[in-house]
Structure 1
């Protein structure tokens, strides 16, 4: 089976290169982590993979077909995205938000079908939100809002799921709960993360970006080395091999002479 693939992607904005020649081939069912400092191109790459942005050069394909030939609505039936932050001034319930995921499956202005209701119900159950379905979106905690956005994405019934730093602003327990949920989903996942230890724990493979370019790709054990961390992030770290994944411990900068 083929899946979502990117070949030589370039994205320029006002003469500035944001993504520079990135290639990525996803394997069905795997979880790929996108790593890199702020401004490295992670969010832009996710939008290119989703077809929200068009590449300046290169191509994104889905099952071997360029996204431009497939069209946005058909792509959205296969590829779902979860952005960093979602806001709305409209008074919506959790069920209303999740039901937005069914839009790619319906013609404009047509009522919801039994299949739509079943998909929404399954997404609510999968994310543990059935009991909050009639609760206002505005009363949810940050972790609950993120779970609701994942439920909305699951209601699309995708085979590929793209998440842009979904653990931002969450406490440690909710970060782990959210990534446990994502890792258990029966989809191919690409997830942008800042926390290297979370990436090591939950991702099968990592792609590291710096200044829009891919500088490393491989398993967490292959990629997360002290040399790579210093090269990309400019910090020193110790990496130990724990059962199942590496563990990173960051080191404080050396104190300059004469300072206390």
Structure 2
């Protein structure tokens, strides 16, 4: 090997410096012969909260499933620290990437604490008991999600909003560096929506979150990616993206956008 040829380890280190975290590069996905996503790129910066916006059927949930590794791209690539996610060991990826989908169901009789403890599976050996670190992570996640008092309740007795908060807590117990959320504020009262978004935006993780509420997205997201028909229409800061013309083009509604306290405020018109 000559001086001009860096060692494999050196090349990997250089790649990590150039590209860290989770990203999708020109990903497309065909489902049932239909193109659901078409050449989408999402490259979150470390610690950033990105909001995925767009009407139903625009491809937001599919993009999140590609980022989580549940689906594989028909073309393009999803990478974690510059390496294809598909070639990353599942346990290693699961320690880094946590996903919360819109609806979660189980027929098993579990307590809220049991559900949250599922987030520790990637950190434990098979059949190994919970360690002190596992128990501490579960307790911290329950507290962050405001579920400590419900920890011993049956999952099946929870309301829809409480179940969603339990799933958030399960993801937090995973202690991820990358968090993927699909409509996490669904079924939540307004106060819980605000509390949840405050929690998510304040976490020391990189977050990609699919949303319908434009005002919540404006308040809590650092950057927005707007999808329509499986393609990216635009991306940028909430101030740059959420304009009356963009809202009219993508959602087909009239709106006024005013300057709020550090973020735009959208008012829809009849």
TM-score normalised over the length of structure 1: 0.93
Q: Return the alpha-carbon distance in structure 2 between the equivalents of residues 70 and 185 of structure 1.
A: 25
The question of 1:42 aligning with 2:87 is answered: no
* Post-superposition CA distance 1:126-157 (Å, at most 9, x none): 22222221111122233322221111001111
What is the aligned counterpart of 1:121 among 139, 147, 169?
Answer: 139
- Secondary structure of 1:77's counterpart equals helix
Summarize the Cα distance change of 1:125–1:169 in structure 2 as closer, same or farther, 3 Å threshold: closer
* Post-superposition CA distance 1:170-213 (Å, at most 9, x none): 22122112111111111111110001111101101000000000
Q: Return the alpha-carbon distance in structure 2 between the equivalents of residues 220 and 173 of structure 1.
A: 22
Deviation, structure 1 residue 116: 1.7
Q: Return the alpha-carbon distance in structure 1 between the equivalents of residues 80 and 253 of structure 2.
A: 37
The question of 1:171 aligning with 2:189 is answered: yes
Aligned partner of 1:255 in structure 2 is none
Correspondence list, 1:152-191, <5 A:
152-191=170-209
Q: Return the alpha-carbon distance in structure 2 between the equivalents of residues 71 and 17 of structure 1.
A: 28
The question of 1:12 aligning with 2:43 is answered: no
Aligned partner of 2:241 in structure 1 is 223
What is the aligned counterpart of 2:127 among 109, 112, 122?
Answer: 109
Aligned partner of 2:260 in structure 1 is 242
Over the aligned positions, Cα root-mean-square deviation in angstroms equals 1.2
- Secondary structure of 2:224's counterpart equals strand
Q: Higher mean Cα deviation, 236-245 or 42-51?
A: 236-245
Q: Return the alpha-carbon distance in structure 1 between the equivalents of residues 196 and 157 of structure 2.
A: 19
Q: How many residues align?
A: 252
* Post-superposition CA distance 1:2-56 (Å, at most 9, x none): 2111100000112211011001111111110000000000000000001110000
Aligned partner of 2:224 in structure 1 is 206
- Secondary structure of 1:134's counterpart equals coil
Is this contact kept in 1: 2:161–2:186, CA < 8 A? Answer: no
- Secondary structure of 1:229's counterpart equals helix
Q: Return the alpha-carbon distance in structure 1 between the equivalents of residues 250 and 205 of structure 2.
A: 29
TM-score normalised over the length of structure 2: 0.90
Aligned partner of 1:143 in structure 2 is 161
Deviation, structure 1 residue 68: 1.1
Q: Higher mean Cα deviation, 49-58 or 163-172?
A: 163-172
- Secondary structure of 1:86's counterpart equals coil
- Secondary structure of 1:117's counterpart equals helix
- Secondary structure of 1:208's counterpart equals strand
